[in-house]
Chains A and B, each alone.
Chain A
């Protein structure tokens, strides 16, 4: 009873007062109840893929948005997770429930390795150097086709669950858990250090922050999440192929991340939830099927021309304002701050308004 009252108070005082929090809550609730309401296999399939890619995009944002290590080779971690999990469950016959974690662990190792190699690189050098790693991995996979299945990849990987609904719940619940986990992490003191590293690494070091250790940790955490997504992907589609390592996937995650707005975690997730179903939906039309990538790129380009900081920061600025005194956020409809009572909109006197018009 106490918890119920506490929950209700939290909901009333912390969530509903801000439109963005309400939206997030509504979205999470909608994801969880959807199969009960609308049980269409095609929709569930698209949403499952969306959830998997949302994990992937959120993990990129922790690394690129928060820490400023703009990774152009994030597909390496996705592919490492997918291939490890698929190989272990296919060749060794271990249950997918265990191999998914193994995939995440191997991706984590790769993340630490890449992070270690890139410790001294910064800015564009880091982006362009990281682009190389998945391609090196791809070259090695093609050179040893007996082990990796070459161009075809490893097919016939075991499913996690049999029904579409169960698979959907696995993807959506792990997505919610990982995304909220990453969000909490990015909001903690750890996340503040990451902001500091991105904005000024030298100053962060001068303040006594062991930046290499933080960067390595972020690489590992982000890679582990991406590897988890990759492993889920392999077991859902039942194939781990070279497409999980391609440049296209690395670029795709960069597009999702920047389109949604970097350093937000929820931005890339929102971008995946908008763009991925959109491209699938466009692809379902016969006439538009060939043009869907074109339309996708054009939409991204147009949106960016009007919202260069990304979609979610733009929307958030429209529906919320920041209190000038206490820096808390308020719904756009309020005229005074909900916490400190400061006026949110500048009260312009009549005379000033006249001057302003001249």
Chain B
């Protein structure tokens, strides 16, 4: 059981980290609470399913196309829907909620509400420490680690990353230093949704694909991001691992744990917020007046 907890926690934590880092990034740069973030994750899973099962492309081709397509689509949505109402925070908020609902209903309409299964990318598995780990879960871990490293590289080792961090730190000063804040916000949207889309593609064979699959990771992701500190990437990563393990422990070690896993994760978030209102690694940023 201990090994099960270790492995499940790590794999789920990896997926959550992909989602939470992207969400945190877009919040940090553009102050958008993007409720539709996990809806893009769902869209990517559906795109992957369509390309792989319906069109019959290979695994690599369909995953790359799905991620690229969803990313482009998200930039389009940002330009058409979010950007015109950027000054009105409340309007942005419900615009993202409405987008998520629209995606859900579109998928429900075109694919039906059934659970769709996707064949595993890799068959078989390895035994580590007496637990058999299917290759698919290993793949999730490897992809999550690779993508997080790539995101770290973009953010901390490129000029674009420098601009993104500067914008997140102080939008007005970044704008005064000659950075094109709008373009940076768009680039951030693209990076953040690409991370979510990758998560959607790698988990699609393990979890089931259905139009409501965005809701439960949404709540967990929000808990993680708040726990780690809004806008803090390190916080999101560590928060994702904490919540991943807490959920795994609740499911495996507590009776009726499957019902309670969300409640326990959220209760931990509330507990952390009581002790540290800005989250584990958040900075209590000065309110703009």
Render B121-143 as a binary contact track against A, CB cut-off 8 A, 1 for contact: 00000000000000000000000
* Contact in complex: A142, B259 (CB < 8 Å): yes
Which residues of B (23-57) have their CB < 8 Å from a CB of A?
Answer: 27, 33, 35
Render B194-233 as a binary contact track against A, CB cut-off 8 A, 1 for contact: 0000000000000000000001001100110110001000
* Contact in complex: B226, A125 (CB < 8 Å): yes
* Contact in complex: B260, A143 (CB < 8 Å): yes
* Contact in complex: B109, A200 (CB < 8 Å): no
In angstroms, Cα B289 to Cα A200, docked, is 8
Chain A residues within an 8 Å CB radius of B106 = 294
Cβ of A139 < 8 Å from any Cβ of B?
yes
In angstroms, Cα B264 to Cα A309, docked, is 37
Chain B residues within an 8 Å CB radius of A132 = 219, 222-223, 266-267, 269-270
* Contact in complex: B262, A135 (CB < 8 Å): yes
* Contact in complex: A255, B81 (CB < 8 Å): no
* Contact in complex: A297, B266 (CB < 8 Å): no
From known contacts A128-B33, A132-B266, A132-B269, infer whether A305 and B81 are also in contact, taking CB-CB under 8 Å.
yes
* Contact in complex: A121, B108 (CB < 8 Å): no
Chain A residues within an 8 Å CB radius of B88 = 308-309
* Contact in complex: B93, A298 (CB < 8 Å): no
Closest chain B CB from A219 CB (angstroms): 15
* Contact in complex: A139, B226 (CB < 8 Å): no
Closest chain A CB from B99 CB (angstroms): 7
- Of all chain A residues, which has the CB nearest B276? A120
- Of all chain A residues, which has the CB nearest B229? A125
* Contact in complex: A139, B262 (CB < 8 Å): yes
In angstroms, Cα B99 to Cα A309, docked, is 18
From known contacts A120-B277, A131-B219, infer whether A300 and B94 are also in contact, taking CB-CB under 8 Å.
yes
Which residues of A (95-145) have their CB < 8 Å from a CB of B?
Answer: 117, 120-125, 127-129, 131-133, 135-136, 138-140, 142-143
* Contact in complex: B81, A143 (CB < 8 Å): no
* Contact in complex: A258, B90 (CB < 8 Å): yes
Which residues of B (247-289) have their CB < 8 Å from a CB of A?
Answer: 256, 259-264, 266-267, 269-270, 273-274, 277-279, 287, 289
B219: which of A127, A135, A293 is its contact (CB, 8 Å)? A135
* Contact in complex: B97, A131 (CB < 8 Å): no
Chain B residues within an 8 Å CB radius of A258 = 90-91, 93-94
Cβ of A18 < 8 Å from any Cβ of B?
no
In angstroms, Cα B42 to Cα A176, docked, is 42
Residue in A124, A254, A259, A305 whose Cβ sees the most chain B Cβ within 10 Å: A124
Render B75-105 as a binary contact track against A, CB cut-off 8 A, 1 for contact: 0000001001101101101110111011011
* Contact in complex: A122, B219 (CB < 8 Å): no
- Of all chain B residues, which has the CB nearest A254? B94
Chain B residues within an 8 Å CB radius of A136 = 262-263, 266-267, 270
* Consensus secondary structure, chain B interface: helix
From known contacts A140-B263, A142-B259, infer whether A124 and B81 are also in contact, taking CB-CB under 8 Å.
no
- Of all chain A residues, which has the CB nearest B108? A290
* Contact in complex: A297, B98 (CB < 8 Å): yes
A254: which of B97, B259, B273 is its contact (CB, 8 Å)? B97
Cβ of A301 < 8 Å from any Cβ of B?
yes
* Contact in complex: A304, B95 (CB < 8 Å): yes
In angstroms, Cα B262 to Cα A124, docked, is 20
Cβ of A49 < 8 Å from any Cβ of B?
no
* Contact in complex: A304, B94 (CB < 8 Å): yes
B101: which of A135, A293, A308 is its contact (CB, 8 Å)? A293
Which residues of B (67-81) have their CB < 8 Å from a CB of A?
Answer: 81
* Contact in complex: A255, B97 (CB < 8 Å): yes
Chain A residues within an 8 Å CB radius of B273 = 117, 120-121, 125, 129
Cβ of A47 < 8 Å from any Cβ of B?
no
From known contacts A129-B270, A255-B94, A258-B94, infer whether A124 and B230 are also in contact, taking CB-CB under 8 Å.
yes
Chain A residues within an 8 Å CB radius of B35 = 251
Closest chain A CB from B101 CB (angstroms): 4
Cβ of A249 < 8 Å from any Cβ of B?
no
Chain A residues within an 8 Å CB radius of B270 = 117, 129, 132-133, 136
In angstroms, Cα B286 to Cα A202, docked, is 11
In angstroms, Cα B104 to Cα A308, docked, is 23
In angstroms, Cα B219 to Cα A143, docked, is 19
Closest chain B CB from A212 CB (angstroms): 13
Cβ of A171 < 8 Å from any Cβ of B?
no
Cβ of A209 < 8 Å from any Cβ of B?
no
* Contact in complex: B94, A128 (CB < 8 Å): no
Closest chain A CB from B204 CB (angstroms): 22
Cβ of A262 < 8 Å from any Cβ of B?
yes
- Of all chain A residues, which has the CB nearest B27? A124
* Contact in complex: A308, B230 (CB < 8 Å): no
- Of all chain B residues, which has the CB nearest A142? B259
Render A234-277 as a binary contact track against B, CB cut-off 8 A, 1 for contact: 00000000000001000100110011001000000000000000
In angstroms, Cα B189 to Cα A51, docked, is 40
List residues of B whose CB falls within 8 A of some A CB.
Answer: 27, 33, 35, 81, 84-85, 87-88, 90-91, 93-95, 97-99, 101-102, 104-106, 108-109, 215, 218-219, 222-223, 225-226, 230, 256, 259-264, 266-267, 269-270, 273-274, 277-279, 287, 289
Known: A125-B226, A135-B262, A301-B102. 17 other contacts (CB 8 A): A117-B273, A123-B287, A124-B27, A132-B267, A133-B266, A133-B270, A140-B263, A254-B93, A258-B90, A259-B94, A290-B109, A294-B109, A297-B102, A308-B85, A308-B87, A308-B91, A310-B90
20 contacting pairs across A/B (C-beta < 8 A): A70-B90, A117-B270, A117-B273, A122-B277, A124-B230, A125-B273, A125-B278, A128-B33, A131-B219, A132-B223, A139-B266, A142-B260, A143-B260, A254-B93, A290-B108, A297-B102, A300-B94, A305-B81, A305-B85, A308-B91
